[in-house]
Structure 1
Amino acid sequence: MPKKKLVTERDLLTLKFLRGFALSPDEKEIVYVLEWIDEKDNKYYSNLWLVGTDGKNNRQFTFGKYKDSSPVWSPDGKKIAFVSKRGEKIGLHIINRDGGEANKLVEEEGAFTNLSWSPDGKFVLGAFRKTEIHKDKEGKKVAPVFREIGRLFYRLDGDGWLPKDRFHIWKYEVATGQGTQLTKGKYEEVSPAFSPDGKTLCFVSNRQPDPDLDTDRMDLYLISSEGKNFRKVSAPDGPKAEPAWSPEGKRIAYLAHTNTKDAWGVTNFHVWVVDPGKRGSAKDLTPKLDRMCLDLGISDTGEAAHGGKVSWSRDGKKLFFMVTDRGSVDLWSVTLDGKMTQITKGKHRVMGFDTNGKVNLLAYSQADFTSCGDLYVTTQAGRSRRLTEVNRDWFGKSQVQIPEEISFLSIGGQKLQGWIIKPPNFNPKRKYPAVVEVHGGPRVQYGNVFMHEFQYLAAKGYVVFYCNPRGSQGYGEKFAGCIVKAWGTYDYQDVMAGTDFLVSKPYVDKNRIGITGGSYGGYMTNWAVGHTNRFKAAVTQRSVVNLVSFFGSSDIGFEDWREFGGQVWENWDHYLKMSPIYYVRNIRTPLLIIHNEGDLRCPIEQAEQLFTALKVLKRKVAFVRFPEEFHGLSRSGRPDRRLERLRRIGGWFGRYLK
């Protein structure tokens, strides 16, 4: 049998990634999006594939170097609508299920989202936002002469400068491509959904006097399919998402909570149902569930966290949704009287699901320790079948180490969950260097999924340790919320308790321990090296350094009051003492700073402050900047930059831990 090869940074160029899917109305097929990397072009492309729900006839459906995404089936199952850029502009395209060339429905400079078909199959519905394009006299795209800012929320990481236009609801006639704008104005409308009879639309919108100052007051609204008879659905205040009509059209399910002053993702989203014609009818079906009804798992190869959906059974008596719990994400159901049932079980992450037709089957995507994400179907009783193995060849040839789940106690007797990955060809009599990884968020979870970066470090001879400290999701609201106004307290103690557990292992060299993390994980890396000299080396990535300046420079800094307690000018001392920059004189650990120049979430000025201070203090520090990249370089950055990032991390630890 051929010897399996060690994991390297270049394996990212080989892996393929599942990026979306839809179940056909007859429940016999799934159309899905498979993303791949072209090394020569240094770009990502994606195409549509089809697979039978019996696991047979898996084949590529669209071809070429395009970015096909967001497929949705027509009600009769004969057509598939999807988003793609096949010309100068992005557009909606329709392709026959039996094959052939895709036909352009509409092409615009902008962004399409939340696609669906009208029940009669005559229209494609969606939310669209027009992009502002500036051109010179020859028609070439150029930067504007100036930007005049009037809105508080004027940029978004990953999107850049937001256009003046907002997302509004459009419908496009399939026969002609004629688009009709159904909502207009200064507010934004998303997640539109046709009622079963096609006469009414439900959507989500924040129509407070200034939505940017009151971001968690979302409401459900109804309009006719012609854009008339606008009215608000009576429901408690709070954020709302993913409205779904019941089969008979008398009720709407949605995901929500009622804490309008929530910190950054502490309060649990639950499954709600409302009768849109009856005041006071909104009801939380899962009030005793102390978990998020969302996918809050993270990995560096799968979709980003925060996905959610709710879907009805055909008889309208049951709803399906996802739950994040102790390192896994699973499918659940709840009846209208509140009886909950877990459908999928195991050590994995369900990243999304879809239903259609008679709802005899649920299609879902799942990642685990040996899969970046594959398609499955299950019955409502939980009898599952795997349909794809998109990276079977790679996993079959690579020496992937299965993490060992562990538990340990922290301050106050708090029990914590973590994982250890041992190097390939592990020898228990040896002493290995180790790396502590800290996740971002903080309201997400590490879990039972494949992490390429961790496997890369293990292949270089490191023991890799990671856990979910207090402040993470998956363990209830109290666990998630205990670090509100108190970053660097319980969370830091938990990371250090995990480090203590790690070095208690006879195969770990306590004098060769490194630490790294990105975003909030970068904050915790900075905090740790400012409070202890136990780490031999550290790599901080896209990190938070100074909460005072973060308020004005981050795209979401104006929401700091939720997480840190009051506005910054009301509590300067508190913000500053919760900032790693306050303790910069204590840093003696050799530190590599990795940051992205286009990061709007944790702007590069954060890294510049830390680097400048450490250079003035004559400490061991290096600063690597990645041009153009937004916050999510490790998951979606330009391929060559993702590889270089891994090389830099491996090189720094190799210099100080080997």
Structure 2
Amino acid sequence: MSATPSGPTAFHDLSAFLATPRVNSLALSADGSRLVAAVQTLNGEGTAYVSGLWEIDPTGERAPQRLTRSAKGESAPAFAADGTLFFVSGRDNTDPGAEKGEGKDGATLWALPERGEARQIARHPGGISGYALAARAATLAYSGGLLPGAADAEAHAKLSKDREDAKVTAILYEAGPTRFWDHDLGPAEQHTFVRSVTGEAATVDAGGQGSRDDGESALSPDGSRVAYTRFVNGTVPGLNRDAVVIADAATGEEIRVLEDAEYDYFGPVFSADGRFLLCLRLLKLTYETPYDETLVRVDLETGEETDLLPGFDNWPAGIAVSPIEGDETVWFTADELGHAPVFRRDPDGTVTRLTVSGAYSSLQVAPDAATLYALRTDIDAAPVPVRLDAAGAAQSPVALKAPGDIGALPGRLTEVRIDGDDGFPLRAWLAVPEEASADAPAPLLVFVHGGPQSSWNAWTWRWNPWPFVARGYAVLLPDPALSTGYGQRMHERGWGQWGGQPYRDLMALTDATEARPDIDETRTGLAGGSYGGYMANRVATSTDRFKSIVSHAGLWDLRSFQGDTDGSWIFRQIFGDQLTQPERYEANSPVLGAERVRTPMLVVHGAKDYRVPVGQGMALFQDLQRFEVPAKFLYFPDENHWVLKPNHSELWYETLLNFFDAHVLGKGWVRPGLV
């Protein structure tokens, strides 16, 4: 936690807050001597974040040094076996003889030696969406699209040019899905290509990955095998699934496919000896039961699949394996009670929690498996690279010097703990202004997280509580039913009733917070995005206890939403078939209570949002006007499910703050500039 401020902090100035550098990912060299981070900073116009690579001293003694700089930026750092640093960039290739304007073709793969200039290693028409490097061989795998009928990248480039010349943008779908988050899928479909790092070997197409372009792949340490994800369109949408394919890296021939109608497989990682593939296995939801997730290991010779975490009650993520051949130790992260610790799974099956607090990601294991590097964050701490004892337990990490210091906070962080109406233990984070006391209680804002399978356990740049704390508000960050990190029971108790048990948990945590002497229970507002926006709508139709409500990308009419969202089949499984199972739609759809809304509402939505399409926000705004509810609609024609552009993000914060000031504090409405 940052020190108590002696004056205004960065959170009192939205421009300063949003200009803070953001550390996003780490890469460790094979010999453990170099640690590199991708760091986002504002461009000169303040209209976009541009990523660059920084050298981080693993000992924590030296200041960070910037390695790359370009207008397009560099991201996704990784080290090859010989110590060369790779990255992805949309920059043009300025090497003599290079084709001009290559940058317009999308992201390409670059290599930066420890001394010398970066050189382009691989390009693909339409761009490279992801890549992987072999730990002990000069082999790389990368992902890129191929149009129907294109056998290779050259044919794909010709077909793309033919479409461009004919000014054809149409896409013919023969199976779904058709969209993903903020873009149309197709007509190109992702494939994984394997080649030598030096380009001396012929490129091998290891096969299609399906229609979702995450570019997730892995190479065995010796480069002989490649694993990649494939989205499988079922005979009906409910049977859509994610599979992991293991193929021969030299021929592309499939060796084994991890595929099951009951499970999704993703996140492949090879063991250090190449004998096993580890990946995450998600038990698919049904109408009756929620998701469940575990970590599995597959013997590549026998195909035997072993659940490595049979008694672990939370969902693992971020797999990292020991680089020592024969050592079966695995490290991973998982949400747990408002944190996301690092865990170690020893070869005998013992699972140990390495960290005391915070949320961790981007795990990197030193070559002797004695040290871990990771990004650590918390509700009150922006991401920072840290060093951990890989064999330790319940430890606090050593922070390494890196860009992105947020300085002092304008308040303090505490917790709220109660039991739900069914006896289940509940908790929430509470950020409180420094000046709040029984003599000067703070107004309260309640922020509901998205997901709903998610948790308030890490720093966020988009729903950060501290600019609101700097304005004098306390901010409650509750984890109600369906939140991650509280065991499978937390999902079960809210399953199929989005507006039921989660709503009651939310109200109970709000009640407990309002009972604190440093909180003014007469001045409370609520806001949320995605599922949190749904809950904001549900709250608005269920109670008038809040002075104002903000609904960002919120679901309003579950019937129309289910057929319009990019993941239509998922939500049909959750809520049921509208024709034969209307019960959950009728019990959970906020639109059915539209006439009960009395609370002033701010609706926020982006037109490029395909997960919760903008029609949901527009319909909500129209209904609010129809029933004469004080309402405003902040609309972003070029934003998606999130508000990502820094100039728009500043406007988002300013509008929410001014809206709450007007209705929670009773101040006059101040219209933000430029809108």
Above 0.5 in TM-score? yes
Name the SS for the 2:104 alignment partner.
Answer: coil
Of 554, 563, 575, the match for 2:574: 563
RMSD: 2.9
| Partner Cα distance (1:29, 1:391) in 2 | 20
Between 1:94-103 and 1:402-411, the stretch displaced more is 94-103
Name the SS for the 1:112 alignment partner.
Answer: coil
Q: How does 1:297-316 map to 2 (within 5 A)?
A: 308-314=318-324, 315-316=326-327
Between 1:199-208 and 1:141-150, the stretch displaced more is 141-150
CA-CA distance at 1:225 after TM superposition = 2.5
The answer to whether the 8 A contact 1:407-1:416 is kept is yes
Of 455, 458, 480, the match for 1:445: 455
1:638 counterpart = 2:645: yes
Letter in 1 for 2:7: K
The answer to whether the 8 A contact 1:21-1:32 is kept is yes
2:98 corresponding residue in structure 1: none
2:79 corresponding residue in structure 1: 73
1:201 counterpart = 2:226: yes
Change in CA separation of 1:255 and 1:482 when aligned onto 2, cut-off 3 Å = same
Name the SS for the 1:183 alignment partner.
Answer: strand
Change in CA separation of 1:433 and 1:134 when aligned onto 2, cut-off 3 Å = farther
Deviations for 1:336-388, whole angstroms, at most 9, x for unmatched residues? 33111122x22211022122533332221111244310111222223742212
2:24 corresponding residue in structure 1: 19
1:3 corresponding residue in structure 2: 7
1:381 counterpart = 2:391: yes
1:90 counterpart = 2:106: yes
CA-CA distance at 1:582 after TM superposition = 0.5
Q: How does 1:262-411 map to 2 (within 5 A)?
A: 262=286, 266-279=290-303, 281-294=304-317, 308-314=318-324, 315-343=326-354, 345-355=355-365, 357-382=367-392, 384-392=397-405, 394-395=406-407, 398-411=408-421
Between 1:20-29 and 1:128-137, the stretch displaced more is 128-137
1:434 corresponding residue in structure 2: 444
Structure 1 alignment gaps of length 5 or more: 295-307
The answer to whether the 8 A contact 2:131-2:143 is kept is yes
1:455 corresponding residue in structure 2: 466
1:627 corresponding residue in structure 2: 637
CA-CA distance at 1:145 after TM superposition = 5.6
Deviations for 1:472-526, whole angstroms, at most 9, x for unmatched residues? 1110111123222111111111111112112212233322111110110011111
Change in CA separation of 1:146 and 1:391 when aligned onto 2, cut-off 3 Å = closer
Deviations for 1:36-62, whole angstroms, at most 9, x for unmatched residues? 112515111111111221124421011
CA-CA distance at 1:137 after TM superposition = 11
Change in CA separation of 1:602 and 1:15 when aligned onto 2, cut-off 3 Å = same
Aligned length, in residue pairs: 633
Change in CA separation of 1:143 and 1:506 when aligned onto 2, cut-off 3 Å = farther
Change in CA separation of 1:309 and 1:317 when aligned onto 2, cut-off 3 Å = closer
1:102 counterpart = 2:112: no
CA-CA distance at 1:171 after TM superposition = 2.0
The answer to whether the 8 A contact 2:503-2:535 is kept is yes
Letter in 2 for 1:283: T
Letter in 2 for 1:59: Q
Q: How does 1:149-228 map to 2 (within 5 A)?
A: 149-158=173-182, 160-176=183-199, 180-184=203-207, 187=210, 191-207=216-232, 209-210=234-235, 212-216=237-241, 218-228=243-253
Letter in 2 for 1:166: E
TM-score by length of 1: 0.89
| Partner Cα distance (2:51, 2:38) in 1 | 6
1:52 counterpart = 2:75: no
| Partner Cα distance (1:262, 1:363) in 2 | 38
The answer to whether the 8 A contact 2:204-2:249 is kept is no
Change in CA separation of 1:640 and 1:130 when aligned onto 2, cut-off 3 Å = farther
TM-score by length of 2: 0.87
Letter in 2 for 1:70: A
Q: How does 1:569-588 map to 2 (within 5 A)?
A: 569-588=579-598
| Partner Cα distance (2:258, 2:541) in 1 | 50
Name the SS for the 2:660 alignment partner.
Answer: helix
1:297 corresponding residue in structure 2: none
Change in CA separation of 1:162 and 1:188 when aligned onto 2, cut-off 3 Å = closer
Between 1:6-15 and 1:407-416, the stretch displaced more is 6-15
What percent of counterpart residues are identical? 21
The answer to whether the 8 A contact 2:481-2:490 is kept is yes
Structure 2 alignment gaps of length 5 or more: 92-102, 148-155, 666-675
| Partner Cα distance (1:120, 1:138) in 2 | 41
2:555 corresponding residue in structure 1: 544
1:521 counterpart = 2:532: yes
Q: How does 1:112-131 map to 2 (within 5 A)?
A: 112-119=128-135, 121-129=137-145
